[in-house]
């Protein structure tokens, strides 16, 4: 849930924020950001579906373990969900995003983009476990609900004339708050605290979607060299990708039907 990417800041140049209707460069830049983000989500989805297909089976002869839900795991599934390897699966995406966050300024655009794709694939591997907890139908419904909400919030962030900087600072503090509360709840197992964290998570990442969109727009500078603009687009796509994934996961806790 952590979002180390927010440590990477690029200040906008005063006076260069121009509306998309009159600035073709800004429009092209934002389209690139959304395209990169969308491709990242596609990679994550394909990785998650591919992983769960390899991890589960309907043939008892091929199963090495059976979950309480009745799902039968293959040897691959048991390795990533039941063995100590699961910790590698859990923490590998965090390592990848931290690497990209702290090294992006010294990386080539192609290297940064490749790291983003690898990160998206690792997230898909990690998120594949949701198919063991929630029904496929509810996961699909939550995804489309998230996409609709994200689109509306991002559009608001792009078009609003209101400065969202103060709100963004408050929301980023909220991210750390829900991380701390989530860690505490690992020991408390409180359903009330879990519900509160989920509700706060939806509100926080809904707000961050609008804030990040505005901030990414303001990062654009017409005079940037192609490599600088390329790295900005990748980092912007990563920020929106993280907002989408977190918003999806918190909404899934409300909308998802458990197996």
- Beta bridge partner(s), residue 114: none
Q: Is the pLDDT of residue 14 over 90?
A: no
Q: Which residue has the tokens 């400065």?
A: 163
Residue 22: the pLDDT is 41
The answer to whether 257 touches 60, Cβ cutoff 8 Å, is no
Packed helices 24-55 and 226-255: angle between N→C axes, nearest 10 degrees: 50
Residue 15: the pLDDT is 43
19 phi, psi to nearest 5 deg: -60, 145
| Residue 79 CA to its chain's centroid (Å) | 25
Lowest mean pLDDT among 141-145, 181-185, 235-239, 243-247: 181-185
Report the share of the chain in percent with pLDDT over 70: 92
- Which residue in 32, 10, 8, 4 sits closest to 219, CA to CA? 10
| Average pLDDT, integer, range 160-181 | 93
Q: Write the burial class of residue 220 (CB in 10 Å: 0-12 exposed, 13-18 middle, 19+ buried).
A: buried
Residue 113: the pLDDT is 97
Query: Rounded to the nearest 5 degrees, what angle is found at the Cα of 182, between the Cα atoms of 180 and 185?
Result: 110
CA distances 69 to 132, 144, 185, 259, Å, are 8, 25, 24, 6
pLDDT band at 11 (very low <50, low <70, confident <90, very high): very low
Helical H segments across 108-225, by residue range: 109-127, 130-133, 136-159, 165-188, 191-219
- Tokens read off for 44: 């994550």
Average pLDDT taken over every residue of the chain: 89
Q: Is the pLDDT of residue 47 over 90?
A: yes
What SS3 state is found at 73? strand
pLDDT in tens, 58-87: 999 889 999 887 899 999 999 999 899 999
The answer to whether 22 touches 220, Cβ cutoff 8 Å, is no
The CA distance from 106 to 119, in Å, is 18
What SS3 state is found at 196? helix
Residue 2: the pLDDT is 41
Residue 6: the pLDDT is 42
- Tokens read off for 129: 């476990």
Sign for the CA dihedral angle at 201, 202, 205, 207 comes to negative
pTM: 0.89
| Average pLDDT, integer, range 80-109 | 93
Sequence ranges of the domains in the chain: 18-255
């Amino acid at each position: 849930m952590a979002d180390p990417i927010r440590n990477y800041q690029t200040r906008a140049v005063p006076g260069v924020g121009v509306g998309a209707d009159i600035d073709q460069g800004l429009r092209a830049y934002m389209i690139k950001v959304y395209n990169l983000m969308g491709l990242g989500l596609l990679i994550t989805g394909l990785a998650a579906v591919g992983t769960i297909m390899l991890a589960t089976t309907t043939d008892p002869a091929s199963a090495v373990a059976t979950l309480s839900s009745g799902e039968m795991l293959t040897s691959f599934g048991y390795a990533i969900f039941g063995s100590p390897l699961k910790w590698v699966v859990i923490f590998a995406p965090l390592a990848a995003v931290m690497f990209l966050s702290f090294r992006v300024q010294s990386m080539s655009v192609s290297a940064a983009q490749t790291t983003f794709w690898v990160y998206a694939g690792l997230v898909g591997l990690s998120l594949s476990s949701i198919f063991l907890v929630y029904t496929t139908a509810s996961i699909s419904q939550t995804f489309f609900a998230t996409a609709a909400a994200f689109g509306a919030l991002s559009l608001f962030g792009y078009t609003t004339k209101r400065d969202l900087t103060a709100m963004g600072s408050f929301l980023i503090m909220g991210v750390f708050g829900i991380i701390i509360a989530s860690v505490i709840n690992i020991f408390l197992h409180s359903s009330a605290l879990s519900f509160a964290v989920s509700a706060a998570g939806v509100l926080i990442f809904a707000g961050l979607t609008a804030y990040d969109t505005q901030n990414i727009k303001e990062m654009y500078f017409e005079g940037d060299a192609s490599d600088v603009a390329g790295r900005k687009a990748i980092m912007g796509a990563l920020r929106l990708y993280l907002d989408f994934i977190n918003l999806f996961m918190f909404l899934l806790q409300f909308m998802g039907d458990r197996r």
